[in-house]
Structure formats: C-alpha cells, structure tokens
C-alpha cells in the first residue's frame, strides 16, 4: 500500500509551497488507494509554536486534505531517535567525534584558503583511544568511494559521488538528533514508501539513502517537485503577494479554487484547467508533474476563484460567506434569506469579501445615498413614478421578475421617461448606490417590506428637497 506523508515545521503559517506539497502527497495517496500521514517536525523548540501547529492543521482542514494517521510529533519521539543513533554506532556506521566547534571553524577557514571543499576531514573517524569525559557528537560514516544513485520519479536518475559527502552529524552533543536522521527514522517507523517533497530537499536525499542502507532498510521512492517561483522567477516570497494559505482564506478565496490552482502549479492533464476534487483524485499521477518551476500568478488564482463563486450553488456558499458579513458588522443572519439573495452577486464577485461588501444594503436598517447618484436620480420629476411603484409593490403578487419589468416598461411609456432613469432611481432608493446587480434581481430578492420601506424613505427624501 502506498504511504505518503506531509511533515511541516510549525514555525509559521502553512505556506503556498507547503500546501502544494501536502496536496500532491494527498492526491497521490488517494489516487493509489493508499494512506496519507501527517507529521509535525517540531524539534526546533525556539521556532516551533502551538499557534503555528493549529494554523497548519486548520489550513489543511480548510483545503479538505484529511489525513489517515497522525499528527505525529517529533518532539515526542526523542528516545526512538537516540536508539537508532546508537544502532548506527554499534554497527560501525557512525562514530563519536570530539572536535570542538572552534577547531572545526579553524579547519574550515584553512580549507577555504587552500581552495578545498570546507567539509569535515574525518579526524575522529578511526580513533583508537577515545576521551572519556569530553563532549562529543555522533557522525555518520559516509563511504569514502563509490556513488549514491537514485531514480527520482520526477527528475529521473540522479547520482552523487560519495567523496563529495562529508561525515555529517546525526546526533549533537546534547543528545538531540539532526534532521537527516530524524526524518529517516520517522519514515522507517511510519512505513513511508513514497516521499514527495520540494526539490530544495534533494541534496539531503543521498545522505538519507545511506542511513537507510546502513540500517538495512528498504529505500522509499523519491519524487522532488520544483519550487514555486514569483512572477520575476525568484523564490516565492512576500514581495510577490500573500504567501500563506490562511491569508487567502481571509481575503475570501474558496478552498476548491485554491486546490485547483495549487495542483496546476507543476502538474497538468492536457489543456484542462478546471478540476473537481474527485476529478483530481482520478487523474493525478507523478508522471504528469513538470520538471520546471511553477510561476505563481495571482490573476489566474483570482479568475479561478470567481469561476468557483459563480458555479457553486448559493446554499453552499452561505457558511463561507457569513464570517465576512459578521466582519462587516452584520449579525444574526438568516441562512435561508442569505442563500436567496446571493445569486445576483455571484456573477460579479471575485472573492467572498467582494460579495459581503456588495450585500451591505440588505442588512442596514437605513442606507445613505451616494450624493452624486441622489442628486442625479432622486429628483422631483421621479417622485410620482416612485409613488406608483410603491403602490404597485403593495400588491401581494407584485414580486415577480417578469411583472416588475413589464410594469417598469409601462411606466416608461406612459410617463415619457426612459427605463434606465426609472431603474437608476429605484436602484439608488434601494441600495444607496448607482451600481449593483440588475435592479429587477434586487427587487425580486429583497424582502418586500424592506423594498417598500426604502421607497418610502426615498420619497420623503425628495419631498424634503423642496422644503
């Protein structure tokens, strides 16, 4: 059974790149009928926080990336790592190094002066007599000759000369283990057999492979996915816009738009752009992951988000939209009413925040008029027309879009005034603004009593102009 994992470090929010790595692992596991494991690499005590853990878990849930096992925490597994480090010592695949940081620094500087690679010189590799009371680290005994080769499922065959790899530290003098040992031990004990990660980890791979081999364990399959770059082809950072999943959630993006966009940053299926989650699970394979970096395009993400807002049934947008309305000060929102009034705004909203801002006039007790709009459209000339519209809307069967439109056209003809001027006067009366979705849609969705109340207020406003 395929077993993949996502192993974030909880030192901040879930980054766009991390989210894509999680998504690729999740999709591959789901496509293969396997398991997706979540592991929190929180051994860096200074930078790891519970707030970051919570933010990462919340973002994964929001994206719909459920995990089958975990989350496991590295901070709770220290004894396991020490045991494996001692196994490598016992099998002569590792050794104690007593060199001080000062000695190592001097040798590194000397190597640089001589134009040599500044790596550990193996001085303690074959010590016959070891100091009994001196602090030490444990180093892995890297083979001096030969090559370490693997077939990357994205990049193809990759080869390293072992002579270029130094005897790297696997356990520090305070008995904490380093990343390369911890990650291998975790992947072994969690039976991870497919490691899909970004290609900034690729140089760790030969060292990790050597640890697997020294422990007599089967090697997993590796797939290194190119990084996500900004529009200037530099590594994605804050200067390219928001970089965390939570930031896009707060801006009013939908999770399905985010998933659809992230998967296309490095993976393709012909010319298809829009994918449902079920579609992705059915079609995702590593062979369609590209070798070149994905370029983050905020405009394309915004286009995808507007597509999903347009095509998602209004009743399924309600839960996502309510927090933005509450943020705007609207409380005690009726879910059924909200679902009823959303459709006219779906075509014109790019984010949920846009939609919440556009819906303001449905939830205000009293609206204020745009000064220019009121001056142009709420005039004495329109007053008798508003009187007739108000009386029409007091009839029980008036709130039918076809009837509303027909009545407006009759008024336009009988009163010799353009339909556009009537529509704009009613729009300003109901919304306070000169721009909104179609006025007939607004009337049809707005509560009947509120329509009449707003028209009455507009009529009073006009009457007061001449006082």
pLDDT at 240: 66
Residue with tokens 């949920």: 352
User: Largest alpha-carbon pair distance within the chain?
Assistant: 110
Question: Residue 399: pLDDT above 70?
Answer: no
User: Looking at residues 415-440, what average pLDDT do you find?
Assistant: 95
pLDDT at 455: 96
- pLDDT (tens digit, 9 = 90+) per residue, 67-84? 999 999 999 999 999 999
Rounded to an integer, what distance in angstroms lies between the CA atom of residue 350 and that of residue 253?
A: 8
pLDDT at 30: 98
pLDDT at 283: 97
User: Looking at residues 343-366, what average pLDDT do you find?
Assistant: 95
- pLDDT (tens digit, 9 = 90+) per residue, 295-346? 999 999 999 999 999 999 999 999 999 999 999 999 989 999 999 999 999 9
pLDDT at 296: 93
Question: Residue 239: pLDDT above 80?
Answer: no
Task: Calculate helix-pair angle for 16-31, 50-63, nearest 10 degrees.
Answer: 50
Q: Do 21 and 59 form a contact (C-beta atoms < 8 A)?
A: no
Q: What share of the chain is helix, strand, coil (3-state, %, to 5)?
A: 50, 10, 35
More confident residue, 3 or 401: 3
pLDDT at 90: 96
Q: Do 222 and 28 form a contact (C-beta atoms < 8 A)?
A: no
pLDDT at 140: 98
The tally of CA atoms less than 13 A away on the side-chain side of residue 186 is 29
Question: Residue 424: pLDDT above 70?
Answer: yes
Residue 111 φ/ψ, nearest 5 degrees: -60, -40
Mean pLDDT of the chain: 94
pLDDT at 160: 97
pLDDT at 112: 84
The catalytic residue positions are 238
pLDDT at 119: 86
Rounded to an integer, what distance in angstroms lies between the CA atom of residue 48 and that of residue 74?
A: 11
């Amino acid at each position: 059974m395929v077993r993949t994992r996502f192993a974030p470090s909880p030192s901040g929010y879930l980054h766009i790149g991390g989210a894509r790595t999680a998504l690729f692992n999740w999709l591959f596991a789901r496509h293969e009928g396997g398991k997706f494991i979540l592991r929190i690499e929180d051994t860096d005590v200074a930078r790891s926080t519970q707030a970051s853990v919570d933010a990462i878990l919340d973002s994964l849930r929001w994206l719909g990336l459920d995990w089958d096992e975990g989350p496991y925490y590295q901070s709770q597994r220290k004894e396991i790592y020490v045991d494996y480090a001692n196994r490598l010592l016992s099998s002569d695949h590792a050794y104690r190094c007593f060199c001080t940081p000062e000695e190592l620094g001097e040798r590194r500087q000397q190597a640089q002066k001589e134009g040599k690679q500044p790596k550990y010189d193996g001085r303690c590799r074959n010590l016959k007599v070891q100091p009994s009371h001196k602090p030490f680290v444990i180093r892995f005994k890297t083979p001096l000759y030969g090559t370490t080769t693997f077939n990357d499922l994205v990049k193809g065959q990759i080869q390293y000369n072992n002579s270029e790899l130094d005897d790297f530290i696997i356990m520090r003098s305070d008995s904490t283990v380093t990343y390369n040992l911890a990650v291998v031990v975790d992947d072994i004990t969690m039976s991870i057999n497919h490691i899909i990660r970004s290609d900034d980890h690729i140089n760790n791979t030969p060292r990790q492979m050597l640890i697997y081999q020294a422990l007599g364990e089967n090697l997993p399959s590796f797939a290194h996915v190119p990084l996500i770059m900004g529009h200037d082809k530099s590594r994605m950072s804050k200067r390219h816009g928001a970089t965390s999943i939570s930031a896009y959630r707060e801006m009013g993006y939908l999770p399905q738009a985010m998933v659809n966009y992230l998967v296309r940053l490095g993976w393709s299926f012909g010319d298809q752009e829009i994918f449902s989650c079920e579609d992705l699970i059915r079609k995702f394979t590593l062979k369609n992951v590209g070798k070149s970096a994905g370029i983050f395009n905020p405009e394309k993400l915004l286009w995808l988000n507007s597509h999903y807002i347009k095509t998602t049934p209004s009743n399924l947008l309600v839960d996502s939209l309510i927090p933005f309305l509450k943020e705007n000060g609207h409380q005690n929102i009726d879910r059924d009413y909200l679902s009823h009034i959303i459709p006219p705004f779906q075509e014109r909203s790019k984010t949920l925040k846009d939609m919440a801002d556009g819906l303001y006039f449905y939830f205000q007790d009293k609206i204020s008029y745009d000064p220019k709009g009121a001056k142009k459209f709420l005039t004495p000339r329109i007053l008798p027309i508003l009187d007739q519209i108000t009386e029409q809307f007091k009839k029980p069967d008036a709130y039918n879009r076809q009837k509303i439109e027909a009545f407006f056209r009759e008024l336009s003809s009988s009163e010799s005034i353009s339909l556009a001027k009537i529509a704009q006067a009613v729009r300003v009366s109901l919304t306070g603004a000169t721009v909104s979705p179609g006025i007939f849609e607004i009337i049809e969705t707005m509560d009947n009593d509120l329509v009449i109340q707003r028209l009455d207020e507009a009529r009073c406003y006009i009457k007061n102009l001449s006082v």
